[in-house]
Amino acid sequence: MDMPIIGVGTFGSDHISKDEMAEAVSLALKIGYRNIDCASVYGNEREIGEVLATSGIPRDQLWITSKVWNDSHAYAKVIASAKQSLKDLRLDYLDLYLVHWPFPNFHPPMCDVTSRSPDARPYIHEQFMETWSAMEALVKEGLVRHIGTSNMSKAKLELLLASASIRPFANEMELHPLFGQYELLSYVQEQGIRAIGYSPLGSPNRPERDTTSEDKVDMDHPVVKELASKHNCHPAAICLKWAQGNGIVPIPQSTKERNLRSNFQSVMEDPLTSEELALLKTIDCNNRLIKGQVFLWEGAESYHDLWDEDGIIPIPERYRKGGVR
């Protein structure tokens, strides 16, 4: 099957238990969702696997994504991580397997925003390609149908596309009306890569470590609210219609039946017009919410170093070939 036009997120942040998330997935399947965005680091694949196994939905009618976490970028660890996700999710294959972040940098659960791992590194292409070659091997073994990336910049994708034997099927990226990433989105789509939009509602309950006083709230924006009243829907639905109108597959997360249902419905009916999409483009304000500070290496100045905003991947001298690896 092809990837369904909307999925359901399963990141419970620091406040949704594994069982609550599994219950939300169960509700989502009953409502009609067939695309589930999982990840080993979310710590709930075993509970979700139980729901999938007992849902009665034939495997070929489900699209299941999982992701290899940053602590498993070495070749053998990628393979082992995929096999563990398959075991936990009780599946023979994944529809899509993503490299969660392009860095082998990770942080202890619940750490605070200033936390830095001494082992953290900037992006090193040769190391990423080792990870990617393991991802390709998983396709060849039949354990995953498609592979993809997440949290990539255009500069990193260009390098990957120049080196990969199997191109990424999808790139999962933060996308919501106030953070449209239009340039990167166009590049991804021009390359024939599907764009999966995470935090499509502006992640109102994201962890404290990803919240700053400058952050704006998509669902409170006057233009989003005005369109919601015009379409007689919740501002959340406008965010999801925005995603759909821009060719993005959104993966909103909710534990509430009412919200799961209205999110699903919002991409099935009453799309935004091209004028409304153009209006929403004008409110984009580069409002990145998932900044990734905890993945920074020692010596990095700010989260901007993670995203190659000027088109250049920063590689400090000591990490260049022959330097510290």
Ligand X SMILES: NC(=O)c1ccc[n+]([C@@H]2O[C@H](COP(=O)([O-])OP(=O)(O)OC[C@H]3O[C@@H](n4cnc5c(N)ncnc54)[C@H](OP(=O)(O)O)[C@@H]3O)[C@@H](O)[C@H]2O)c1
Active site residues: 42
Q: Which of 4, 10, 123, 193 binds ligand X (CB under 6 A)?
A: 10
Q: Strand 94-99's sheet: what is its strand order? A: 8-9, 35-37, 63-68, 94-99, 144-150, 170-174, 194-198, 248-250
CB of 180 to ligand X, least distance (A): 14
**Spatial distance between the Cα atoms of 74 and 261, rounded to a whole number of angstroms:** 40
**Residue 213 burial by CB count (10 A; 0-12/13-18/19+): exposed, middle or buried?**
exposed
Q: Which amino acid is at 64?
A: I
CB of 320 to ligand X, least distance (A): 27
Q: Which residues contact 284 (CB under 8 A, 6 or more apart)?
A: 177, 178, 179, 180, 182
The reply on whether position 259 binds ligand X by CB under 6 A is yes
Span 48-107, contacts to ligand X by CB under 6 A: 100
The reply on whether position 290 binds ligand X by CB under 6 A is yes
The reply on whether position 171 binds ligand X by CB under 6 A is no
CB of 40 to ligand X, least distance (A): 12
Give, as one character, the DSSP assignment of residue 201: T
> Coil, helix or strand for 259?
helix
Q: Which residues contact 21 (CB under 8 A, 6 or more apart)?
A: 10, 12, 42, 44, 47, 48, 255
The reply on whether position 186 binds ligand X by CB under 6 A is no
The reply on whether position 11 binds ligand X by CB under 6 A is yes
Provide the mask over 136-155, with x wherever binding to ligand X is found by CB under 6 A and - wherever it is not. --------------xx----
Stretch that binds ligand X, among 43-51, 245-253, 276-284, 306-314 (CB under 6 A): 245-253
Provide the mask over 12-51, with x wherever binding to ligand X is found by CB under 6 A and - wherever it is not. -------------------------x--------------
Cβ neighbours of 142 (radius 10 Å): 9
**Spatial distance between the Cα atoms of 58 and 279, rounded to a whole number of angstroms:** 41
In the complex with ligand X, the residue whose CB is nearer, 131 or 199, is: 199
**Interacting residue ranges for ligand X, rule: CB under 6 A:** 9-11, 37, 100, 150-151, 172, 198-206, 234, 236, 251-256, 259, 262-263, 290
